Amino acid sequence: MAAQPVPRTDAEPTGELKHPVDEKLPALKMATSGLQHVAAMYAGVVAPPLIVGAAVGLSPTELTFLTGACLFTAGLATFLQTLGFWKIGARLPFVNGVTFAGVAPMTAVVASAKDKSDALPIIFGAVIVAGVLGFIAAPFFSKAVRFFPPVVTGSVITLIGVSLLPVAFGWAQGPNPAADDYGSTTNLGLAAATLVIVLLLRRFTRGFVKQIAVLLGLVIGTLVAIPFGVTDFGPVADANVVGFPTPFHFGAPQFQLAAILSLCVVMVVSMTESTADMLALGEIVERPADEKTIAAGLRADTLGSALSPLFNGFMCSAFAQNIGLVAMTRIRSRYVVATGGGFLVLMGLCPMAASLIAVVPRPVLGGAGVVLFGSVAASGIQTLVRAGLEKDNNVLIVAVSLAVGIIPITAPGFYHAFPQTARIVLDSGISTGCVAAVVLNLVFNHLGKGQEADEVTHPMEAGEDLKAVPAH
């Protein structure tokens, strides 16, 4: 059973035992644990700017600049979320970065732009408007927390983990699906070796070494990959030592209605997923996220998104993959993640530092990702254990919401006939599964509440009323 929530305060407690979330760890532990968070989410941050930048046709130098800008703004957004100020920031160990949900609409904006040089300014303008509107809507959006009992949060947390696992499997096969070695025995072998290394470190080490098992696994896996020619040190040699993301480097923001509407839809999806992520992390760190915390967290997300285009970054959102790292290591300090945010800012200001993380081969990241993302799903299952699954209603809620959420994973083209705007939501298994769980919980557990649900041991077992009917 989770511990009772510790009251959230904006000031540091004095003379009282601190919650693990508010603890400041020794410098070395803070730095290595923070770097571990960066390693876990690096690929997710750099993928959107690489995809959008390639669609625009940026040169390698400009593409590097755009990627560095997104790392820099991810660090700033992480500071907002973990350290916070006023009523901004959940003050939980959350890493923020570029949301992948915006990739499809942003590439659509690029495709529709008559002049490709206008594409990024149009995207930046739309992100600013969506961020401002989301900031205004945050306190109203947070009131939905009352509709997230354990049966809903457990389903959503499980879906977060399950939805992320295909990412790890893709990494394990290699960085480029078009390459000849994609899915080769070498790549899969390196992923498996990294997974085994992490598991061995978790099983046979103690204390600090056990807690940074993922980081050590990434380092050892990278060294193992060198003889196979998979590790590329070229990015380090080619990177500049210093580079600042000049404000509005690609031009002043432009405001087009179609792009704004499209990115506003993405913002709603992002806020839904961030709410689910905050509820998940709150359970894991034993500081359940209440309405006030969620509102503050959503303000940090949306403010970070609104400010991000100033430094040539995209829409920011909480990164679910880092929840798995918190769940596995049990290092719950928000200052560890804030340190990770500092590393992200440093990478944005020093391209050479950013390139060091880029050296880690994608298969090695994939092997570690299996542990990280699987840990999120396991945390969801733990929540479901206390969700009252002896009730037939709750079993159906979990069954249907998981099924709906897994559709985009198992059948990626399932919603191909729907408009692109609708697919932004439908292709997010976390969003659709979350909506399904909330609606089903309202229908089965709130409407007509006078009728108590039958207790069953199997979802297909008949309730008591049916058992009482004699056979003819």
Buried b / exposed e along 389-410 (16+ C-beta atoms within 10 A): bebbbbbebbebbbebbbbbee
Provide the pLDDT for residue 456: 46
* Separation between Cα atoms, residue 126 and residue 314, nearest integer Å: 10
Digit-coded pLDDT (tens) for 355-405 = 666 677 889 888 888 887 787 788 778 778 877 777 788 899 999 999 998
Provide the pLDDT for residue 152: 83
Whether residue 10 is predicted with pLDDT greater than 60 in this model: the reply is: no
Whether residue 324 is predicted with pLDDT greater than 80 in this model: the reply is: no
> Which token pair is 142?
């947070």
Question: Could you tell me which residues are beta bridge partners of residue 88?
Answer: 85
**Residue 68 main-chain phi, psi, to 5 deg:** -60, -40
* Separation between Cα atoms, residue 4 and residue 192, nearest integer Å: 39
pTM: 0.65
* Average pLDDT of the chain, as a whole number: 79
Name residue 130's amino acid: A
* Separation between Cα atoms, residue 308 and residue 288, nearest integer Å: 29
Whether residue 16 is predicted with pLDDT greater than 60 in this model: the reply is: no
Digit-coded pLDDT (tens) for 428-451 = 777 788 888 888 988 988 776 544
378: burial class by Cβ within 10 Å (0-12, 13-18, 19+)? middle
249: burial class by Cβ within 10 Å (0-12, 13-18, 19+)? middle
Digit-coded pLDDT (tens) for 211-225 = 677 778 888 998 999
Provide the pLDDT for residue 60: 65
Whether residue 145 is predicted with pLDDT greater than 70 in this model: the reply is: no
Select the more confidently predicted residue: 15 or 126.
126
Of the chain, the percentage scoring pLDDT greater than 90 comes to 11
Angle at 52 between CA 435 and CA 301, to 5 degrees: 45
Closest residue by Cα to residue 311 from 103, 49, 41, 44 = 49
315: how many CB neighbours lie within 10 A of its CB?
32
Beta 96-98 vs 316-318: how paired, if at all?
antiparallel
Digit-coded pLDDT (tens) for 159-201 = 877 877 887 888 889 877 888 888 899 999 999 999 999 899 8
* Separation between Cα atoms, residue 34 and residue 11, nearest integer Å: 23
